[in-house]
Amino acid sequence: MDARTPTTAIADGLEPPRRYWAWASILVVLMLAVLDGSIANVALPTIAAEFQASPSVSIWIVNGYQLAIVVSLLPLAALGEIHGYRRVYLAGIAVFTLASLGCMLADSLPALTAARVVQGLGAAGVMSVNTALLRYTVPARKFGSAIGLNAFTVASASTIGPTLAGFILTWASWPWLFVINIPLGIAAIAMGWRSLPESDRSDRPFDWKSAVLSAATIGLFITLIDSIGHKLPLPWIAGQFAGLLAAGTLLVRRELGMKEPMLPLDLLKLPIFSLSIATSVASFVAQMLAFISLPFTLQTIMGFSPRDVGLLMMPWPLAIAVAAPIAGRLSDRHSPALLGGAGLVLLSAGLALLALLPADASVPDIVWRMVLCGIGFGMFQTPNNRTMVGAAPRRRSGAASGMLGTARLTGQTTGAALVASLLAHLGISGATWALGVGACFALVAACFSLGRIGLFRKAEREAEAAAAAAAKRDEDLSQFP
C-alpha cells in the first residue's frame, strides 16, 4: 500500500512490517528532540565561554528553542488536522535536521540562537502530532503499550543526554553536539516517507488569527511566569500580564464560535480530557520543582560534587524508563485513573521523603527515594497521555496531541518559576521547600486523576449497554428469514 493511501481504509492501525518502520521513525525523532534539549543545557558554559557571552545571554540558546516549541504546538497541531499529520511530521523532521546543520555552522551567538529557534519550530512539528500519528499507526489494543514505549524513549534520552554531551565535549568542540541529528534525521525521513500513515483531514481553512492569538497567549504566559520567578521589574511584569489578558480574551472569544477550535475548547468541555490536562499540568509542576531544586540540595546543602550530582539524578529517569512501558500495558486493561492516582501518590511520598533527608544523608538513602519518584511518575505519565488522546474523537487527535505537549511545557515552566521564586526569597533553604511544594502538587494531581474514576465507570457502563443493544438487534434480525 502506498504511504499516501488514506488511513481510513485501514481498520485498525497499519499492518506489519510497515507499522514497525513507521513506529521506528516516530521513536528516532522523539529521541532526537529530547536529546537536543538536554545536551544543549550541558554545553551552555562551553558555548558562552567561546563566544565570550554572559550566562544570562547564552541561556537563550535553550530558552529560544523551548519558547519556539511551546508557542507553535497548537497551530501546528491544527495544520496536522487540516493537511495530515504525516505531512506536518515529515516537514518538522526536515526543518529540525536543516536547523541542526545551521547550529553546527553558526559562528556567533545570535546565529546559533536563531538556528535554535528554527530547530524548535521543527521539533514542534514533530511533538504537535507525534501521539496523534501513533494513534493511526498501532492497533487500538496496543495504544497504551505504544505510549509506554514513547515514554521509555523520552526517559532513556533524558538519561543519556548529559552523559553523551559530556563525552562529546571531552573529545570534540561543541558544534559536534548537533552533528548526530543530521544522519539520524535523514534516516527518520527515509523510514517515514514510505511508512507513515495518512490521517483523517478536516475541510476547514487554517485560522491564522487564532494561530497568532494562541502563540501570543501561551508565549506571554510562559514569559510572565519566568519574569515573576526571576523578580523582574514590576512595569515589565504588568505589561506582560496586560498583553496576556488581552490576547487570551480575544482568543477565547474567537474560539467559542468555532466548531473545531485551535485552542480545543470543545475537548476541554469533556470532563475526562480536562481532568487529564489538569493532572498533567500539576504533575509536571511537581517534577520540575524537583529537577531544578535537587541539584542545589545535593551539591550546596549535602556537599556532593557536580559529577556525583549527575549520577544521583539518574535513578529517577531510569525508573521512569522501567515503569512507563509496564504502566502502558496495564493501561490497556485497567483504569488509567487508578494507575495514575497510585503513581502520583508514590511521587508525592518520594518528594516528601527527599525533602526530609538530613544534610548527611547516605547515597543509598537518596537513591531509593529517587527510584520511588521515578516509578510513581512513570506509572502516571503513560496512562494519562493515553487517556488524553483517547478521549478525543479521532479527527481531533492533533488538537489532543498539541494540548498534551502544551500541558507538559506549561507545568514545567511554572515549576521552574516557583523554584526561582523560592530561592530568591528563602535562599538555599528554598530548594528544600521546593521539594515539599512539589509533594503537594503531586497530591493535587493525584486527586485530579482519581476524580476520573466515576467518569471511566460511566463510560464502561455506556459501552456495555451499547454492546448489549447491538447484540439484541442482531438476535432480533436473525429471527427473520
- What's residue 263's pLDDT? 86
Judge if 223 and 233 occupy the same domain.
Answer: yes
Task: Write the burial class of residue 407 (CB in 10 Å: 0-12 exposed, 13-18 middle, 19+ buried).
Answer: buried
Q: Which of 207, 226, 244 is the last residue of a domain?
A: 207
Q: Are residues 237 and 357 in the same domain?
A: no
147 and 227 within one domain? no
pLDDT at 318: 87
* Residues 232 and 184 occupy one common structural domain: no
350 and 411 inside one domain: yes
Domain range for residue 221? 208-257
Radius of gyration of the chain (CA): 23
pLDDT beneath 70, residues of the chain: 1-11, 38, 41-42, 55-56, 229-230, 306, 456, 459-481
Place of cell 487529564: 276
CATH number (domain holding residue 18): 1.20.1250.20
Is the CB of residue 479 less than 8 Å from the CB of residue 299? Answer: no
Q: How much is the pLDDT for 347? A: 96
List, in order, residues 6 or more apart from 415 with CB less than 8 Å away: 284, 285, 286, 287, 288, 289, 291, 292, 438, 441
Co-location of 146 and 276 in the same domain: no
Tell me the residue type at 25: S
Contact 317, 155 (CB under 8 A): yes
Residues 343 and 384 in one domain: yes
Task: Indicate if 344 and 227 belong to the same structural domain.
Answer: no
Together in a domain, 145 and 247: no
Among residues 173, 207, 241, which one ends one of the domains?
207
Q: Which amino acid does the sequence have at 351?
A: L
What's the structural domain count of the chain?
3
Predicted local confidence at residue 480, as pLDDT:
54
pLDDT for residue 476: 59
Task: Provide the grid cell at 322.
Answer: 522501567
Both 242 and 341 in a single domain?
no
3-class secondary structure per residue, the chain: CCCCCCHHHCCCCCCCCHHHHHHHHHHHHHHHHHHHHHHHHHHHHHHHHHCCCCHHHHCHHHHHHHHHHHHHHHHHHHHHHHHCHHHHHHHHHHHHHHHHHHHHHCCCHHHHHHHHHHHHHHHHHHHHHHHHHHHHHCCHHHHHHHHHHHHHHHHHHHHHHHHHHHHHHHHCCHHHHCCCHHHHHHHHHHHHHHHCCCCCCCCCCCCHHHHHHHHHHHHHHHHHHHHHHCCCCHHHHHHHHHHHHHHHHHHHHHHCCCCCCCCCHHHHCCHHHHHHHHHHHHHHHHHHHHHHHHHHHHHHHCCCCHHHHHHHHCHHHHHHHHHHHHHHHHHCCCCHHHHHHHHHHHHHHHHHHHHCCCCCCCHHHHHHHHHHHHHHHHHHHHHHHHHHHHCCCHHHHHHHHHHHHHHHHHHHHHHHHHHHHHHHHHCCHHHHHHHHHHHHHHHHHHHHHHCCHHHHHHHHHHHHHHHHHHHHHHHHHHCCC
C-alpha distances in Å from residue 205, one per residue of 2, 260, 408, 430: 26, 11, 28, 49
Q: What is the pLDDT of residue 185?
A: 92
pLDDT value at residue 10: 43
What does the pLDDT read at residue 9?
A: 37
Give CA–CA dist 189/25, Å, rounded. Answer: 7
Whether residues 192 and 311 fall in one domain: no
> Which residue, 201, 19, 44, is CA-closest to 116?
44
Give yes or no: residues 433 and 422 share one domain: yes
- Model confidence pLDDT, tens digit, residues 26-46: 888 888 887 887 677 667 777
The predicted-structure confidence for 389-408, as pLDDT tens digits, reads as follows: 888 887 888 888 888 888 88
Please tell me the pTM assigned to this model: 0.78
* Dihedral sign from CA coordinates of 231, 233, 238, 239: negative
**Contact between residue 426 and residue 436 where contact means Cβ atoms under 8 Å apart:** no
Joined together, the cell numbers standing for residue 118 give 528554527
Residue 116 CB coordination number (10 Å): 26
